[in-house]
């Protein structure tokens, strides 16, 4: 009977795995920001526009890195769910309640392509 032992140094493997994990997180973040930007752009025509406050609030109020798109006016919730409200279409021809759902119905495939492309572009840099 022979004894056999082998010690394997996995420190390089762990370091590589940690680097890939950080890279993956960075790529996800870049894809998330790109996705939020295109959603905001494509949703804008559906956002009711009177003074422009609601439509204009989204850029400053949103947390794109975490995927949060926020319309930050005191009445944003009321008009978002305002199915009985008649919206003027002078500035935004597609203005409607539940604007995100309407934009999503028209643009979901484009949004998915943008997210995939942004992730792949950032990943290829690694």
| pLDDT (mean) for 35-46 | 97
Backbone φ and ψ for 124, nearest 5 degrees, come out as -65, -15
pLDDT at 88: 86
pLDDT at 13: 85
Domain boundaries, the chain: 48-126
| pLDDT (mean) for 65-79 | 96
| pLDDT (mean) for 71-99 | 92
DSSP string, 26-58: HHHHHHHHHHHHHHHHHHGGGS--SSSHHHHHH
Q: How far apart are CA 107 and CA 103, in angstroms?
A: 6
pLDDT at 27: 92
What tokens were used for 45? 């025509």
Backbone φ and ψ for 63, nearest 5 degrees, come out as -115, 80
Q: Mind listing the pLDDT tens digit for each residue in 14-40?
A: 888 898 899 999 999 999 999 999 999
pTM confidence score: 0.84
| pLDDT (mean) for 74-81 | 96
| pLDDT (mean) for 60-78 | 96
pLDDT at 9: 75
């Amino acid at each position: 009977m022979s004894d056999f032992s082998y010690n394997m140094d996995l420190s390089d493997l762990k370091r590589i795995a940690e680097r890939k994990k950080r890279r993956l997180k960075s790529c996800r973040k870049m894809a998330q920001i790109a996705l939020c930007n295109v959603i905001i752009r494509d949703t804008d025509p559906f956002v009711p526009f009177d003074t422009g406050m609601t439509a204009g609030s989204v850029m400053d109020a949103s947390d794109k890195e975490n995927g949060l798109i926020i319309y930050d006016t005191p009445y944003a919730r009321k008009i978002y769910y305002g199915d009985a409200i008649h919206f003027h279409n002078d500035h935004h021809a597609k203005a409607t309640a539940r604007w995100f759902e309407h934009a999503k119905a028209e643009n979901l495939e484009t949004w998915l392509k943008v997210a995939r492309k942004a992730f792949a572009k950032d990943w290829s840099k690694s």
